[in-house]
Structure 1
Amino acid sequence: MKKLFIYLLLSLPLPLMAQIGIKGGLNFAKVSKASEISSSNKAGFHAGIFLAMPSKKMISSRTELIFSRQGYDYKNATTTGNVNMDYIQMGQLMSINITKYFSLMLGAQTSYLISAQADSSTGTGSGPEKSIMDLYNRIDYGYAVGVEIHPVLGLIIGARYNVSLAKVYKDLQNMQAPSFTSQDAKNNVIQISVGWRFGKQPKKEKKED
């Protein structure tokens, strides 16, 4: 499955005439399948660039390179705290252009973890923020679904749900796992973004009589 997602991201060549754009916005992140802890949403942000293949037809494609700060707040019997994770995400998405102003987005993405930190507090006080990179799988992969609106030429407003299929943590059975970890935890992120696509915008083809 992991090889399949990497192949999907790398196998579609970008045309030289692709339009470049920028985007950024808010993340609302948490982890699923974290049975050992009680996790809740954590606010973060994302920013990056994309290349969109211009198309007058219903289906088009986009490649994205995004920095994404995500993680989760957690609580268990003795400890509360938060985990911050910084990823570089590469996504290959298909855009289904329902109208000139509205699109559905669907695709695959692979992420590389570049930073991970955790801090916590107990009944005796707060603990220092720690780097926890050794606990994490560097590669994450999954799929994304979302919607976009294009109210004026160039402007993009979107909402997307990113679902990871890979586990956040390495095998923790052979190590002393910290209180904020959960063996089967997976990333889930809602992204609200605003962007701008540069260059001449494609127009819909008119049907001939």
Structure 2
Amino acid sequence: MKKLLIIGFLSLFFAPLAQAQLGIKGGLNVAELTGREGESSSYKAFYHVGVFYQANIIGPLSIQPEVQYSLQGGNLKSAYTNYDSQLHYLTVPILAKLTVGPVFIEAGPQFGVLLNANQSGNLQVGFTEDGQPAYGNESRPATSNFKRGDFSVVGGVGLKLASNFSLGGRLVAGLNDINDAKNLTGINDPRLQNRVFQVYAAFQFGDGRR
């Protein structure tokens, strides 16, 4: 009897995993950096690719952790500067997913780790002899200008077009200040936050029952 109870408990615990599906995904990032005073931000097109694991919890509800390589950033422009920032992230969204027929909605937190960053365009490069800012067109590493961690919230909708193929769209809104740069006078720059609109295609391996 005791063995039967243990087997029954393990069956309940591992049942959702038995129905889980691995998948791959990728698509377009339309991203900007927001929050810097004195500079206007605009969106730039980048991309993301990744893998995910969808496990059924109960009925139409499932949980979907992912691991993605996500290139994002944006353009910042002022009266004297006009440059692009490219931020290379490893991101881990952990999403709750509700599927009704072919339609699904998903939401949850996302954790990001900055791998690398660079900036290119018309940037402040120093000061002139009389102490005025000097600007020039250059491309330079910028990893040290940004904090390594990023925390975001994710919300999105999608459509399953076939048993194993789906299309979706998401908004990824950064919550914390990712700026870690000091300007050339030694004063901290204003806050910067990531904002990314994603459009993606996904393919799941398995029987495609969800």
Would the TM-score normalized by the shorter structure come out above 0.5?
yes
Question: Equivalent residues in 2 for 1:47-62 (5 A)?
Answer: 47-54=49-56, 57-62=59-64
**TM superposition shift of 1:56:** 6.6
Q: State the alpha-carbon separation in 2 of the partners of residues 202 and 126 from structure 1.
A: 57
**TM superposition shift of 1:173:** 7.1
**TM-score normalised by the chain length of structure 2:** 0.81
**TM superposition shift of 1:176:** 4.0
Q: Which has the higher strand share?
A: 2
**Which of 20, 23, 31 pairs up with 1:21?**
23
Question: Equivalent residues in 2 for 1:121-200 (5 A)?
Answer: 121=122, 127-170=137-180, 172=182, 176=186, 182-200=189-207
% of aligned pairs identical? 24
The total of aligned residue pairs comes to 186
Please give the root-mean-square deviation of Cα atoms over the aligned residues, in Å. Answer: 2.5
Residue number in structure 2 paired with 1:95? 97
C-alpha deviations, 1:18-72, integer Å up to 9, x for none?
A: 2110000000000222223111001000001000114671211101000000011
- Structure 2 residue 121 is the aligned partner of structure 1 residue 114: no
Identify which of structures 1 and 2 has the higher relative contact order when contacts are C-alpha pairs closer than 8 Å and 6+ apart: 1
Q: Which residue identity does 2:152 align to in structure 1?
A: G
Query: Do the aligned partners of 1:171 and 1:183 also contact (CA within 8 Å) in 2?
Result: no
**TM-score normalised by the chain length of structure 1:** 0.81
Q: Which residue identity does 2:146 align to in structure 1?
A: Y
Comparing 145-154 with 16-25, greater Cα deviation is found at 16-25
Residue number in structure 2 paired with 1:82? 84
C-alpha deviations, 1:100-141, integer Å up to 9, x for none?
A: 20011001110000010001227x996221111111100001
C-alpha deviations, 1:76-121, integer Å up to 9, x for none?
A: 1111111100100001100011x22001100111000001000122
Can you give the 5+ residue segments of structure 2 that lack an aligned partner in the other structure?
Answer: 1-13, 124-133
